[in-house]
Amino acid sequence: MTPPFDRETILIDTIIIITAFLLSACPSPRWNIIEEDEVEEGRDGVYHTVNRGENLYRIAKTYNVDLQELAEINGIEDISQIKVGQRIFIPGAKEVKKVEIPQTVENTQTIEPENKNQNNTTTSKPKKEVAQHRSDEIKTYKGRFIWPVNGKVISYFGVRGGRNHKGIDIAAPEGTKIVASDNGTVIYSDDKLRGYGNVIIIKHSDNFITVYAHNKVNYAKENDVVKKGQVIGEVGKTGNAETPHLHFEIRDNTKARNPLFYLP
């Protein structure tokens, strides 16, 4: 079953896209909130159940999906750790496909026979194995950002509960201080994003953007220049949050990235 998309995250997507455009057009952007019904839902996808002999590289190739994206949306930092029976969400796929498992003669192993022939030669036994792919093909950037709050991750990046979650939720007591994950400039600080309550969006170097939502209060205001570790707000349960927590996102340009691939 294809999971429906989180309508509020679609709105955040729109805000970030508008922000990127406005920042390039004028020095002091103002905000126009696009209503949800004006935004077309994003891509769908399917679940692929891992069969014996399959690996993430081969699955990504079969569905023509970027390996890094597939790993991040499923929270897989080591591609060698997927298991038979594991369900992998394939973004953008329309149907489940069969993954071909080619066997290659990658190398040969020399075996000394009990009796050598007259030419004193040895025989070689082919060694069949499924092509291996190094786990370092998945890139992580541990420490690129710092944790915005001390707490427990209660909801992870990717497809969760039938919804496409584009960040992580970190539980912490109401009033806990939120800090900027890196140096940057505040490009949004308001409560106009339906469902998210008080939100802060910070633009960083290398086109990264971080999002902090459901805040009790925002200290940092639009156009403020903030330093890594600087307090920018407090954890709350504004918007549609039922318990105090911080919804935190990392974007590369407008593309949502798995924060756990970037945090220490």
* Res 11: pLDDT: 60
* Res 18: pLDDT: 54
**Residue of higher predicted confidence among 168 and 133:** 168
pLDDT tens digits along 106-123: 433 333 444 444 444 444
* Res 138: pLDDT: 84
Q: Write phi, then psi, for 144 (nearest 5 degrees).
A: -60, -35
User: What is the 8-class DSSP label of residue 253?
Assistant: T
Name which of 25, 9, 29, 32 is nearest 185 in CA terms.
29
* Across 141-169, average pLDDT: 90
Give yes or no for a contact between 82 and 48, defined as CB atoms under 8 angstroms apart: no
Is 128's pLDDT higher than 60? no
What percent of the chain is modeled with pLDDT above 90? 58
DSSP letter for each residue of 208-237: EEEEEEEEEEE-S-TT-EE-TT-EEEEEB-
Give yes or no for a contact between 240 and 195, defined as CB atoms under 8 angstroms apart: yes
Give the helix ranges, DSSP H, for the chain: 7-25, 56-63, 67-73
Q: What is the pTM (predicted TM-score) of this model? A: 0.73
Q: Write phi, then psi, for 112 (nearest 5 degrees).
A: -80, 115
* Superfamily designation of domain 141-261: Glucose Permease (Domain IIA) (2.70.70.10)
- Which single residue is written with the structure tokens 């591609």? 79
Is 60's pLDDT higher than 60? yes
Is 70's pLDDT higher than 50? yes
* Res 45: pLDDT: 85
The span from the CA of 93 to the CA of 43, in Å, is 9
Region of 59 please: left (phi>0), alpha (psi -120 to 50) or beta.
alpha
